[in-house]
Amino acid sequence: MFKIFLLFFMFTRVLEIFCYYQNGDLRFVAVLYRHGDRAPTKIYPKDPYNDVSYYWPDGLGELTNLGIQHQYELGQWFTNRYATFLPEKFSTADIYVRSSDRDRTLMSAAANLAGLYPAKGAQVWDKQLLWRPIPIHTVPNEEDEVVAMKKDCPRYNLLYDQLLNSRTFQLVNLRNKPLYDYLTKNTGWNITELRQIETLYSLLSIEKQYNLTLPAWAEGIFPKKLEFLAALSHASFSFTKPLARLKNGPFFDYVFSHFDKVTSNATVLKFLMISAHDNTIVNLLSAMGVYDYTFPNFASTIIWELSQKDERFYVNLFYKNTATVSELKLMGCEMNCEYETFKTILEPVTVKVEEWNKDCII
């Protein structure tokens, strides 16, 4: 009897998460996803698969066919989830798409949109190709403080260096020195810090995904031991409130500016799509206090849904890291969190670009 009750509860909870907006109160959706599957960005000197032209013919760091497929499927998933909210035909009045200035994120956005908006009716220009071009906006990464989060911020750099030199992170390196030495011996990299562990973990994960047999030295340390250290490396970029504010502040202000236009009836835009990276995912989850130190999969997605009931607006937050979607709750905010409350909770890590530029000065 208890098992039946539990299954019924889980089923009704899933229905609540997926269908609560079907009564027409959903007003705006913002999504940020990691690009699709890519080739490794770096190959260690002793890697048995270091023939890049053979194993990764499209180049290091580039989107693979599997990555294109996964993003296309994510676009179809958006279509199904928002079937009663987004019109079937593409319109610039409904959706705005922004990407970091990297091949893999720009291509991921294009593949996703092909799944979200297959050409129909008058939008078909070639019956053999049910696709139409959709604008994707970007700015150079070195000028982008919102999506790529790569624009130089001297104060952030100073605070981050202080964090890495803090007793906490020095102890992490000290306690893992035997592991670092072991990896240095077997990879040919001089491994001395967490960021290198992150790169190695990502590389091994990709090789395993593509059915390449991992070397014997990786047994016992991959994936579990390396995954936690890689996740800690990810989390370090927004490890403190000051770091989180300078890293994520312009992004939250950007998203909230779209929400504010909806709540004031200043826009009819329905959907904001952002194509980004694993670091972006972790930075935002960490800043919101909901990161569980799990490495983001390719095409993992954060979803913010703004809905209205009567005169009140509220936000629901979701995370899709596998085939399933989980509800995330900010501290002090349950499901259907009042929008102003949601903003207030994130106010310490939200900042306008003009103010951010001033705060970055040392």
Name the pairing type of β-strands 95-99 and 337-338: unpaired
How far is Cα 118 from Cα 207, in angstroms, rounded to an integer? 32
- What gap in Å lies between CA 252 and CA 280, rounded to an integer? 12
Task: Specify whether 229 is located in the same domain as 326.
Answer: no
Q: What is the DSSP string of 92-122?
A: TTTEEEEE-SSHHHHHHHHHHHHHH----GG
Query: What is the domain count for the chain?
Result: 2
Res 3: pLDDT: 46
**What's the pLDDT at 322?**
86
Q: Give the DSSP letter of residue 150.
A: -
Could you tell me the two tokens for 312? 């009140």
d(C-alpha 331, C-alpha 348), whole Å: 13
In a domain, 267, yes or no: yes
Q: Are residues 276 and 338 in the same domain?
A: yes
Cβ atoms of 318 and 328 closer than 8 Å: yes
Q: Are 271 and 29 in contact (CB under 8 A)?
A: yes
Report which of 10, 17, 121 is spatially closest to residue 336, judged by C-alpha positions: 17
Q: What's the maximum distance between 2 C-alpha atoms anywhere in the chain?
A: 64
The catalytic residue among 37, 103, 278, 310 is: 278
142 and 54 inside one domain? yes
Q: What is the CATH number of the domain that holds 287?
A: 3.40.50.1240
SS3 label, residue 140: coil
- Cβ partners under 8 Å of residue 303, min gap 6: 29, 30, 31, 317, 318, 319, 320, 325
Q: Domain end: 236, 265, 300, which one? A: 236
Pairing of strands 325-328, 301-309: unpaired
Q: Would you call 35 a catalytic residue per the annotation?
A: yes
Active-site residue, 234 included: no
- Domain boundary (236, 257, 277) is at 236
> Are residues 43 and 112 part of one domain?
yes
Cα separation, 273 vs 136, whole angstroms? 9
Residues 249 and 207 in one domain: no
What domain range is 212 assigned to?
A: 154-236
- Termini Cα distance of the chain: 63
Co-location of 181 and 330 in the same domain? no
DSSP 8-state symbol, 295: P
Asked if residue 141 belongs to a domain, the reply is yes
Q: How far apart are CA 207 and CA 47, in angstroms?
A: 10
pLDDT of the residue at 323: 87
Spell out the long-range contacts of 350-355 with Cβ–Cβ below 8 A and sequence spacing 24 or more.
350/245, 350/249, 350/252, 350/253, 350/256, 351/245, 351/246, 351/249, 351/250, 351/252, 351/253, 352/250, 352/253, 353/145, 353/146, 353/250, 353/253
H/E stretch holding 305: strand 301-309
Residue 1 belongs to some domain of the structure: no
Say how far apart CA 249 and CA 253 lie, in whole Å: 6
Whether 5 maps to a domain, the answer reads no
pTM: 0.92
Same domain, 28 and 109: yes
Q: Is residue 296 part of a domain?
A: yes
Catalytic residue among 35, 70, 234, 277: 35
Spatial contact of 146 and 283, defined as CB atoms under 8 Å apart = no
| Beta strand 337-338 pairing with 301-309 | unpaired
3-state DSSP call for residue 143?
Answer: helix
Q: Tokens 């590389």 map to which residue?
A: 203
Tell me the pLDDT of the chain (362 aa) as tens digits: 444 444 444 444 444 444 444 444 999 999 999 999 999 999 999 999 999 999 999 999 999 999 999 999 999 999 999 999 999 999 999 999 999 999 999 999 999 999 999 999 999 999 999 999 999 999 999 999 999 999 999 999 999 999 999 999 999 999 999 999 999 999 999 999 999 999 999 999 999 999 999 999 999 999 999 999 999 999 999 999 999 999 999 999 999 999 999 999 998 899 999 999 999 999 999 999 999 999 999 999 999 999 999 989 999 999 999 889 999 999 999 899 999 999 999 999 999 999 999 999 99
**Are residue 83 and residue 166 in the same domain, yes or no?**
no
Note whether 271 and 300 are same-domain residues: yes
Q: Is residue 304 within 8 Å of residue 258, measured between CB atoms?
A: no
Are residues 203 and 136 part of one domain?
A: no
Closest CA to 321 of 291, 337, 298, 350: 298
317 falls within a domain: yes
Domain match, 201 and 348 both: no
- Residue 16 in any domain: the answer is no
What sign for the dihedral angle of Cα 160, 162, 168, 172? Answer: positive
Pick the last residue of a domain from 236, 264, 285.
236
Residues 86 and 129 in one domain: yes
Is there a domain that residue 2 lies in?
no
